[in-house]
Structure 1
Amino acid sequence: MKLSKKQFKQDFEERLTSKFATDITKAGSQEKYAALASVVKHYYTKIWADDNDYKDETGKKQAYYFSIEFLPGKMLKSNLLNLGILNTVKEALAELGINLDEVAESEPDMAIGNGGLGRLASCFMDSLASTGLPANGNGIRYRYGLFKQKIIDGYQVELPDSWLNNGNPWEVRRADKAVEVRFGGEVWLEDDGKGNLLPHYKNQERVLAVPYDTPMVGFENTTVNNMCLWRSEVPQDLDPKFQNLEYMRQTSMLSAELYPDDSNYDGRLLRLKQEYFFVSAGLQRIMRHYKSTHKKDVRNIADYIAVHINDTHPALCVPEFMRILVDEYGVGWNRAWDTTVKVMSYTNHTILSEALEKWPEDMVKHLLPRIYQIIVEIDRRRTAELLPKIGATLVHNTRIIRDGQIHMAHLSIIGSHSTNGVAKLHSDLLKDVELHDFYEIYPERFNNKTNGIADRRWIQISNERLSGVLDETIGTSWRHDLNDLVKLEVYKDDESVLECLQAAKYDDKLRLAALIKERNGIVVNPEAIFDVQVKRLHAYKRQLLNVLHILKLYFELKDEPELDVVPRVFIFGAKAAPGYHYAKSIIKAINEIANMINNDKTIADKIKVVFMENYNVSLAELIIPAANVGEQISLASKEASGTSNMKFMLNGALTMGTLDGANIEIFEAAGEGNNFVFGLTKDEVYEYYRNGNYNARDIYEQNPIVHRILDSFIDGTIPNISMEGPEIFDSLTTYNDEYFVLRDFNDYVRAQKELETLYRDKKAWTQASLMNIANVGRFSSDRTVKEYADDIWHIKAKK
Structure 2
Amino acid sequence: MGVTKKIKEDKRFRTSKGLIKENYLDHINLTLGKTLENATSWDKYNALALLVKDQVVEKWLQTQKKYFENPDTKRVYYFSIEFLIGRLLYNNLLNLQIYDDVKKAMQDLNLKLEEIAEIEPDAGLGNGGLGRLAACFLDSIATLGIPGYGYGIRYEYGIFKQIIKDGFQVELPDDWLKNGNPWEIERKDRSVKIKFFGKTESYKDKDGNLRFRWVDTYDILAVPYDTPIIGYGNEVANTLRLWSARPINEFDFDNFQKGNYIKSVESQAIASAISKVLYPNDAFYAGRELRLKQEYFFVSASIQDIIRRFKKQFGNNFDIFPDKNVIQLNDTHPALAIPELMRILVDEEKLSWEKAWKITTKTFAYTNHTVMPEALEKWEVHLLERLLPRHLEILYEINARFLDNANKIFSGNIDKIRNVSIFEEGHVKQVRMANLSIVGSFSINGVSKLHTEILKNSVFKDFYEIWPKKFNNKTNGITQRRWLLQCNPNLSNLINETLGDNWIINLDYLKNLEAYANDKNFLDKFFEVKQHNKKQLSNYIKKELGINVDPESIFDVQVKRLHEYKRQLLNVMHIIYLYQTLKENPNIDIYPRTFIFGAKAAPGYRMAKLIIKLINSVADIVNNDKEINDKIKVVFIPNYNVSLAEIIIPAANVSEQISTAGKEASGTGNMKFALNGALTIGTLDGANIEIKECVGDENIFIFGLTAEQVQKLKESRLYNPYDIYLRNENIRKILDAINNGFFNKENPDLFKDIFQALLFGLNGSQADEYMLLADFDSYKTRHKEIDITYRDKYLWNKKALLNVARVGIFSSDRTIMEYAKDIWNVK
* TM-score, normalised with respect to structure 2: 0.95
Corresponding position of 1:164: 177
Verify: 1:610 aligned to 2:635, yes or no.
Answer: yes
Does 2:515 align with 1:490?
yes
Question: In the alignment, which of 714, 729, 732 is matched to residue 739 of structure 2?
Answer: 714
Task: Choose 108-117 or 5-14, whichever is displaced more.
Answer: 5-14
Q: Any idea what SS the aligned residue of 1:309 has?
A: strand
Q: Is the 8 A contact 2:192 2:304 kept in 1?
A: yes
Question: Which residue pairs with 2:479 in the alignment?
Answer: 454
Does the Cα contact within 8 Å between 1:261 and 1:579 map onto a contact in 2? no
Contact 1:183 1:206 in 2 (8 A): yes
Question: For residues 695 and 496 of structure 2, what CA distance do their matches in structure 1 show?
Answer: 21
Q: What is the alpha-carbon distance in structure 1 between the residues aligned to residue 249 and residue 381 of structure 2?
A: 32
- 1:116-127 to structure 2, matched below 5 A, reads 116-127=129-140
Whole-angstrom CA distance in 2 between matches of 1:146 and 1:488: 38
Counterpart of 1:222 in 2: which secondary structure?
coil
User: Which residue of 666, 672, 687 corresponds with 1:662?
Assistant: 687
Q: Quick check: 1:434 aligned with 2:459?
A: yes
Matched, 1:756 2:768: no
- Secondary structure in structure 2 of the residue aligned to 1:565: coil
Aligned to 2:442: 417
The alignment status of 1:31 with 2:53, answered yes or no, reads no
The answer to whether the 8 A contact 2:512-2:805 is kept is yes
Evaluate the alpha carbon distance shift between residue 459 and residue 105 of structure 1 in structure 2; reply closer, same or farther with a 3 A threshold.
same
Q: Contact 1:419/1:446 (CA < 8 Å) preserved in 2? A: yes
Which runs of structure 2 are paired with 1:383-402 in the superposition (5 Å)?
Answer: 383-393=403-413, 394-402=416-424
Structure 1 contact 51–224 (Cα < 8 Å) conserved: yes
Q: Secondary structure at the match of 1:712?
A: helix
Partner of 1:577: 602
Unpaired stretches in structure 1, ≥5 consecutive residues = none
> Contact 1:588–1:724 (CA<8 Å) still a contact in 2?
no
Asked whether the equivalents of residues 260 and 271 of structure 1 are also in contact (C-alpha less than 8 Å), the reply is: no
SS of equivalent to 2:541 = helix
Q: 1: distance between equivalents of 2:740 and 2:226?
A: 56
Larger displacement relative to structure 2 (260-269 or 563-572): 260-269
Preserved contact between residue 260 and residue 270 of structure 1 (Cα < 8 Å): no
Tell me if 1:209 matches 2:222: yes
Q: Structure 1 residues 266 and 626 mapped into 2: Cα distance closer, same or farther (>3 Å)?
A: closer
Q: Which residue of 1 aligns with 2:800?
A: 769
Note the 1:495-534 alignment, pairs <5 A: 495-534=520-559
Q: Deviations over 1:197-220 (max 9, x none)?
A: 332334311110000011100001
Query: For the residues of structure 1 that align with 2:663 and 2:281, how far apart are their CA atoms?
Result: 23
Query: For 1:46, what is the secondary structure of its paired residue?
Result: helix
Secondary structure of the residue aligned to 1:419 is: strand
**1:589–1:724 Cα contact (<8 Å) kept:** no
Q: Residues 71 and 20 (structure 1 numbering): CA distance in 2 closer, same or farther, change over 3 Å?
A: same
Greater shift in the superposed pair: 291-300 or 675-684:
291-300
- Per mean C-alpha deviation after superposition, the further-off stretch among 578-587 and 192-201 is 192-201
Q: 1:250 aligns with which of 242, 252, 270?
A: 270
1:440-494 residue CA offsets vs partner (Å, 9 max, x unmatched):
0110100000000011001111100111111112222112211100000000111
**Does the aligned pair in 2 maintain the 1:130–1:218 contact within 8 Å?**
yes
Distance 1:716 1:723 in 2: 6
Displacement of 1:240 in angstroms is 5.7
Tell me the amino acid that sits aligned with residue 557 of structure 1: L
CA distance in 1, matches of 2:226, 2:798: 45
Identity of aligned residues (%): 49
Hey, what's the Cα distance between the residues in 1 that align with 2:484 and 2:37?
33
SS at match of 2:741: coil
Where does residue 115 of structure 2 map in the other structure? 102
Rounded to whole Å, the distance in 2 between the matches of 1:264 and 1:737 is: 22
Q: Which moved more, 1:641-650 or 1:378-387?
A: 378-387
Please state if 1:733 is matched with 2:759: yes
1:631 alignment partner in structure 2: 656
How far 1:405 moved relative to its partner?
Answer: 0.9
| Residues 239-248 or 418-427, more deviating | 239-248
The letter of the residue matching 1:130 is: T
**Aligned CA distance change for structure 1 residues 130 and 480 (closer, same or farther; 3 Å):** same
Secondary structure in 1 aligned to 2:163? strand
Separation of aligned partners in 2, 1:381 and 1:322:
14
Q: Which residue of 2 aligns with 1:182?
A: 195
Cα separation, 2, equivalents of 1:733 and 1:670:
37
Q: Residues 261, 442 of structure 1: CA spacing in aligned structure 2 closer, same or farther, 3 A cutoff?
A: closer
Shift of 1:604: 2.7
Please tell me whether the aligned partners of residues 446 and 475 of structure 2 are also in contact (alpha carbons under 8 angstroms). Answer: yes
**1:214-270 Cα shifts (integer Å, max 9, x gaps):** 110000101111001000000138876796444332211100111158869770111
| Aligned residue number for residue 291 of structure 1 | 311
Q: Deviations over 1:731-771 (max 9, x none)?
A: 10011100000000000001001111110000000000000
Could you tell me whether the CA contact under 8 Å between 2:541 and 2:548 is conserved in 1?
yes
Q: 1:237–1:630: structure 2 CA closer, same or farther, 3 Å change rule?
A: closer
1:779 aligned onto 2:799: no
Distance 2:291 2:403 in 1: 29
Cα distance in 1 for partners of 2:251, 2:408 equals 50
Q: 2:402 aligns with which of 373, 382, 386?
A: 382
Match of 2:382 in 1: 362
Instruction: Measure, in 1, the Cα distance between the counterparts of 2:286 and 2:169.
Output: 24
Provide, for residues 167-223 of structure 1, a one-character-per-residue CA deviation record: whole Å limited to 9, x for no partner.
Answer: 000001000000011111111222225232332334311110000011100001011
TM-score (norm 1): 0.98
Which of 306, 326, 329 is the matching residue for 2:326?
A: 306
SS in 1 for 2:125: coil
2:597–2:636 CA contact under 8 A, matched in 1: yes
Q: Is residue 474 from structure 1 mapped to residue 499 from structure 2 by the alignment?
A: yes
| Residues in 1 aligned to 2:206 and 2:251: alpha-carbon distance in whole angstroms | 32
Partner of 1:105, secondary structure, is: helix
Shift of 1:56: 0.2
Residue 649 of structure 1 is aligned with which of 661, 667, 674? 674
Q: Alpha-carbon deviations, 1:266-321, whole Å to 9, x = none?
A: 70111011000000000001101111122251232001000111001001011001
1:147 to 135, 147, 160: 160
User: Shift in Å at residue 151 of structure 1?
Assistant: 0.8
Separation of aligned partners in 2, 1:688 and 1:437: 24
Q: Which SS does the other structure have where 2:643 is aligned? A: helix
Indicate how the Cα distance of structure 1 residues 412 and 241 shifts in structure 2: closer, same or farther if over 3 A, else same: farther
Amino acid across the alignment from 1:463: N
- How many Å apart are 1:340 and its aligned residue? 0.4
- The match for 1:348 among 352, 357, 368 is 368
Match of 1:56 in 2: 68
Deviation of the 1:581 alpha carbon:
0.6
3-state SS of paired residue (1:739): coil
The answer to whether the Cα contact below 8 Å between 2:283 and 2:602 also exists between their aligned partners in 1 is no
- Distance in 1 of aligned mates of 2:62 and 2:138: 19
**CA 263–555 in structure 1, closer or farther in 2 if over 3 Å, else same:** closer
Q: Which residue identity is paired with 1:445?
A: K
Amino acid at match of 2:345: L
| Contact 1:111 1:142 (C-alpha < 8 Å) held by counterparts | no
Q: 1:76 aligns with which of 80, 84, 89?
A: 89
RMSD of aligned alpha carbons: 1.5
2:279 corresponds to which letter in structure 1? Y
Stretches of structure 2 that go unaligned for 5 or more consecutive residues are 1-10, 256-262, 762-766
1:69 Cα deviation from its structure 2 partner: 0.2
Q: Quick one: distance in 1 between partners of 2:282 and 2:627?
A: 45
Count of aligned residue pairs for this structure pair? 796
Write the distance in 2 (CA, Å) between the matches of 1:365 and 1:503. 62
Distance in 1 (alpha carbons) for counterparts of 2:668 and 2:807: 12
Change (3 A) 1:464 1:260: closer
2:30 to 8, 14, 18: 18
Aligned to 2:234, what secondary structure does the other structure show?
coil
Give the corresponding residue for 1:705. Answer: 730
Identify if the C-alpha distance between structure 1 residues 265 and 455 changes in structure 2 by more than 3 Å, giving closer, same or farther.
Answer: closer
